[in-house]
Amino acid sequence: MRRWLIYGVAVLLVVLAAVVYFTFDPSQAGFFPRCTFLTLTGYKCPGCGSQRALHALLHGDLATAWHYNAGLFFAIPIIIVYLLGELKRTTWLRYYRAISQPWVIYAILAAIILWWVGRNIC
């Protein structure tokens, strides 16, 4: 019972966040946080532009979302895969073990680092 309450609250928070990002444009609304790494270094982190990209995605503007942060298009499916793995951890044990292999985690980390470096070189 407690588990379903946690899932319900999580879904409610995701829906609330989606409504906020749909309603307000992070480029114009002043209450969205700015990237500390970009502010301090002048270089983009792997997540820079994600708020604006999410806003564009929620409005169906794929080209603008890709422009702001193309990495988000790859991150969202990976996040879904890992959320599903966590939700089905006990019933899909082979799936959970497969996505939890160290080489899979390291491959994702390597992709994030390559994205981080690549977006600052180009």
- Residue 1 pLDDT greater than 80, yes or no: no
Query: What is the rounded CA–CA span in Å between residue 93 and residue 27?
Result: 42
Cβ neighbours of residue 69 closer than 8 Å, sequence gap 6 or more = 47, 48, 49, 50, 52, 53
Residue type, 25: D
86: Cβ contacts below 8 Å, ≥ 6 apart:
96
Which amino acid is it at 67?
H
Q: Record the pTM.
A: 0.82
Query: What tens digit of pLDDT does each residue of 44-70 get?
Result: 999 999 999 999 999 999 999 999 999
Contacts (Cβ under 8 Å, ≥6 apart) of 49: 68, 69, 72
